[in-house]
Amino acid sequence: MAANPLGGGSFGEALARHGLQLTREETRVLQVNVGLACDLSCRHCHLEAGPQRVEMMDRDTMDAVIDCARRFRFQSIDLTGGAPELVPDLDRLVRSLAPLTNRLMVRTNLVALNSGEGSALCELYRELGVGLVASLPASNAAQTEAQRGEGVWGRSVEALKRLNSLGYGMPESPLRLDLVSNPSGAFLPPPQQQAEQKFRSDLSRRHGISFNSLYTFANVPLGRFRSFLERSGNLDGYLAQLTDGFNPCSVAGLMCRYQLSVDWRGRLYDCDFHLAQGVWYGGEETHISTLAELPAPGTTIPTADHCFACTVGAGFT
């Protein structure tokens, strides 16, 4: 793993300074990255997903994921991408996984829900009670489109309104619609509760849109976002913000302690950022079909410099 370009000590050293170790707790979540194909090319994407990417999960790998979910009964299964909606047979994967977990959720860029296939998936999600986690960086067009591309704001609003009409994100409805906001630039996100209040007010007042919860996450300096940081002369300053903002209290709740992440080829990681960097679960390439048991609590999790993005402020949980 590369040395910290800041010279301020690696993530492991930051943990050690606070007498901490990054170790696993009981594994409750399976995150499934079904591929990098996407109809958007967001400027903050750590995976550099986009229309030109062809990596997608095939049926055999889906079967291996389903088999794993049957063997281990995860509390939550989290499907992500790319845009999951673009992956052939996603509906089959969703139908198969839904009865195998307490909570199945699918990440969406919203725009992909506006296609014919996307509309059909919305109906399927509703039928199965699948939770939706939608990316929306801001409650205004300018910042949303700066991150996600021209025309995305209008299409996102359209999708959110349709989801509301299906019952998603509405008061008293069991169909959860959560939003995820990443900053539109080289700055840290606002405190989650304050941002949620503002999104709720703006989206309700201007567009009549409801949602359940908003999650704010710092951008991870990998992929396209790192390229932006380098081009714009913001890299050193942003990395310094991440390391200076290291919050030891955030370590206990980090998602990597509770989840396994699997890519479109069935290979395992501790999180989607390690996936982006090729940092294997267990230190070597492991296919999900060969996973004999879940990681034991106390197992050490490999760290890298990008981990600082998950421990800044309130942290990435």
Per-residue binding letters, 126-165, with other proteins (x by CB under 8 A): ------------x-x-xx----------------------
Q: How many residues in the shown chain lie near other proteins by CB under 8 A?
A: 14
Q: Does 234 engage in binding with other proteins (CB under 8 A)?
A: no
Q: Which is nearer to other proteins, 109 or 181 (CB)?
A: 181
Q: Is 133 left (phi over 0), alpha (psi -120 to 50) or beta?
A: beta
d(CA 190, CA 167): 28
Closest approach of Cβ 199 to other proteins, in Å?
Answer: 8
174 burial via Cβ count (<10 Å: 0-12, 13-18, 19+): exposed
Out of 12, 84, 183, 223, the only residue in the binding site for other proteins (CB under 8 A) is 183
Nearby residues of 16 by Cβ (< 8 Å), 6 or more positions away: none
Q: Does 94 engage in binding with other proteins (CB under 8 A)?
A: no
Out of 112, 122, 195, 260, the only residue in the binding site for other proteins (CB under 8 A) is 195
Closest approach of Cβ 131 to other proteins, in Å?
Answer: 24
d(CA 163, CA 133): 12
d(CA 94, CA 87): 11
291 burial via Cβ count (<10 Å: 0-12, 13-18, 19+): buried
Are 30 and 260 in contact by the 8 Å Cβ rule? The answer is yes
Q: Which is nearer to other proteins, 56 or 214 (CB)?
A: 214
Closest approach of Cβ 161 to other proteins, in Å?
Answer: 21
Q: Which is nearer to other proteins, 190 or 282 (CB)?
A: 190
Task: For the segment 256-285, give every residue that binds other proteins (CB under 8 A).
Answer: none
Chain residues binding other proteins by CB under 8 A are: 138, 140, 142-143, 183, 185, 187-191, 194-195, 198
